[in-house]
Structure 1
Amino acid sequence: MFLTANKFMARMGDLSLGLTPAAVARLLVTGRRAKWDGRRVDPRAQVAGRFFTSLRIPATEARLTAFREFFDALGTRSGFADTGGVGTRDIAMPLADRSLTGRLYSPDGVADGGPLILFFHGGGYVLGSVAGYDPICRRLAKLSGHRLLSVEYRLAPEHPWPAPVEDARDSWTWVQQNADRLGIDPERVTLSGDSAGGGLALVVANHAAATPQDNQPAALALAYPAARVTLQDEAEQALAGMELLLGVSVLEWFKKTYTAGRVEATDPTMSPALDEDGLRHMPPTLILTAGFDPLRPGAEFLRDRLAAGGRAVELYEYPTMIHGFVSLGRHFTEADDAIRRLARYVRTCCETERGESRQAARGGIV
């Protein structure tokens, strides 16, 4: 059975999660609860994941617009409720050949000259927006105590690869050149994002590593990033086959729409964990994963590559969760724990003093 995504369906999905206690969810999935490699999915996460994969993949421009509205509406309805204490202003980011926009989040009482989190939203490079990710960004800014800039990068199919990559890289350069306007220290900028946005954060870090004489990211704080999207090993295929939000057809749609036949999955801008040169210079990195996420093996591959190269890296898994659970912060306590972990990590990495001690925190790269 396929459903049509729209704002009404987002409201129904949010209400169904809110009105489905864990005991009821367990009854709904009795005998069909997903299991993998010693893990058992949270019943409510399984209900949410199957709801998303029951949505009809859009085949027309009108349906894509409705799908984007659904995705954003679900993010704002199901996102964190406690997001006060943070001011916002939308800003223009003029570039040589185009202009991006972003939303700057400033926690109450934040001082000028402090750190910044440069954030890229998820959505498979096809869905997602600054507005839809507002609850996550407000919560992360509040808990970290740092300013946060959420970037409205271009999306496929209107702007396929490499447009999102170009926007992510250029936003990093723009931030470095406009630190005074933002009221931040350009030496203490953390790259963050989830899913596709986490992949973009990694691409930017690889890009910055190519010019080691310039400022480097202070840290990477990633939630289930698109680190390697070849999706060829047994675990990735099995997890995709469970159809828990990121099912086979959804992944194929994202890939086909974003690449437009222009690039292979092994390209470092698609799978940044395969960028050997960039990984040698990665800043301290925190990776959060979900047990029932087809992107988890790729994130673990990234962790292993960074550790083998002597980089500072931590990975924390939420074994019962599915991809995208942080966007459902109103319904899962794991989502709030994830944001708190990201915030603590960012604070720790950005508290290091400038100069030699900061270089040491990045693994000795000078």
Structure 2
Amino acid sequence: MPLNPAFEPILEAFAGMEAADWSAMDVGFMRQTGDAPIEVGEQVQVASVRDLQIPLDGRTLAARLYLPLGTSGTPPLTLYLHGGGWVMGTLDTHDRSCRELANASSSAILSLAYRLAPEAPYPAAVHDSFDALCWAEQHASRFGVDVSRLAVAGDSAGGNLAMAAALLARDRGPTLRHQLLLYPVVQDDFGTGSYGRCGNGRYFLSTEMMQWFWKQYLGDTQADAAPLAALLQNDDLSRLPTTTIMVGEYDPLHDEGVELARRLSAAGVATELIDASGMIHGFFAMSPLVPDVGPYILQAGAALRKALEA
């Protein structure tokens, strides 16, 4: 399908990014420009929002717990990892997405402010994500959620971290019911067909931008020595929880998400692939500006709700 026309003014606002010198890009500049939440329309209402501090070994991480509207009883819990190339992103940038997903899924959402690269390179964010998942399983019942029904979710780099946490949980616990991966980063291969079609910067995310993000995240670590970052390196993808993967048609990451779905299915994991027509990278957070995003949020929420039913 053609690019959804509602993206055109958004892409015009980012039109200069493809000409940026990514070899000299400043992290502070990226955060200054990229960490401003989209503030359009009224705030999405949920039953309650609570800011938390999660005490972990040697550090304390901020988090935000959303309880969904319209639920009776004790809702299940989903740990949400935000996107931003492991470098950017905050609780506020993904506040609306978490509110929308909570209501669409009838799951409580625990959004985590994990440590960011390059100050905290791989595998710091993986450890934060998994340790927060373990903390949630052990302690979050006191906040009115059912930690026996637990899932992970994330978008882009957050999808990468969600699956990394799921791989660790598979071998160490806790037991997960589902992983919801929104246009996840799963490999550092920039030669895929979708990079060739969509990586020139016309569709916001460019090949050079992703290469820069990988460099910030991995630091001195080589990708082939980072199986919890370059996830498709893992030979054994069996025994993971049921999975929903959502990819955008005009996203450079499209093909690696499709390949992950194929690999998971081949490993015996019940996997649903949702290929979002006309969508670019990051579309899940753009519902105030792109009305056609709404049905995909509902579809993702429905998949999560079904997997977490008592």
Q: TM-score, normalised by structure 1?
A: 0.78
8 Å CA contact 1:186–1:215 kept in 2: the answer is no
Greater shift, 298-307 or 137-146, is seen at 137-146
Matches for 1:197-212 after TM superposition, within 5 Å: 197-211=158-172
Identity value in percent? 31
**CA distance in 1: counterparts of 2:214 and 2:288, whole angstroms:** 29
Aligned to 1:236: 195
Aligned to 2:109: 148
8 Å CA contact 1:81–1:330 kept in 2: the answer is no
Structure number with higher relative contact order (C-alpha < 8 Å, ≥ 6 residues apart): 2
Aligned to 1:70: 33
**CA distance in 2: counterparts of 1:269 and 1:108, whole angstroms:** 35
The CA RMSD over aligned residues, in Å, is 2.3
AA at the equivalent of 2:277: P
Query: Structure 2, unaligned stretches of length 5 or more?
Result: none
AA at the equivalent of 1:149: L
Q: Does 1:348 align with 2:306?
A: yes
**CA distance in 1: counterparts of 2:247 and 2:87, whole angstroms:** 21
8 Å CA contact 1:235–1:297 kept in 2: the answer is yes
**CA distance in 1: counterparts of 2:98 and 2:57, whole angstroms:** 27
Distance 1:44 1:66, change over 3 A: same
Aligned to 2:93: 132
Measured against aligned partners, the alpha-carbon deviations of 1:303-362 in whole angstroms (never above 9, x if no partner) come to 1011112211111111211101111111112321121111111111111x4xxxxxxxxx
Aligned to 1:261: 220
**CA distance in 2: counterparts of 1:249 and 1:138, whole angstroms:** 32
**CA distance in 2: counterparts of 1:101 and 1:141, whole angstroms:** 19
Query: Structure 1, unaligned stretches of length 5 or more?
Result: 1-38, 354-366
Q: Of residues 269, 290, 308 in structure 2, which corresponds to 1:332?
A: 290
AA at the equivalent of 2:222: V
Aligned to 2:68: 107
Greater shift, 328-337 or 120-129, is seen at 328-337
**CA distance in 1: counterparts of 2:225 and 2:191, whole angstroms:** 11
8 Å CA contact 1:119–1:192 kept in 2: the answer is yes
- 1:293: Cα distance to partner? 0.7
Aligned to 2:127: 166
Q: Does 1:192 align with 2:150?
A: no
Aligned to 2:13: 51
Q: Does 1:275 align with 2:231?
A: no
8 Å CA contact 1:116–1:184 kept in 2: the answer is yes
SS at match of 1:210: helix
**CA distance in 2: counterparts of 1:315 and 1:40, whole angstroms:** 20
Distance 1:291 1:108, change over 3 A: closer
**CA distance in 2: counterparts of 1:45 and 1:58, whole angstroms:** 24
Q: Of residues 264, 268, 274 in structure 2, which corresponds to 1:310?
A: 268
Distance 1:215 1:261, change over 3 A: closer
- 1:207: Cα distance to partner? 0.7
Distance 1:81 1:275, change over 3 A: farther
Distance 1:235 1:339, change over 3 A: closer
8 Å CA contact 1:206–1:275 kept in 2: the answer is no
**CA distance in 2: counterparts of 1:262 and 1:343, whole angstroms:** 35
**CA distance in 1: counterparts of 2:224 and 2:203, whole angstroms:** 22
Larger radius of gyration: 1
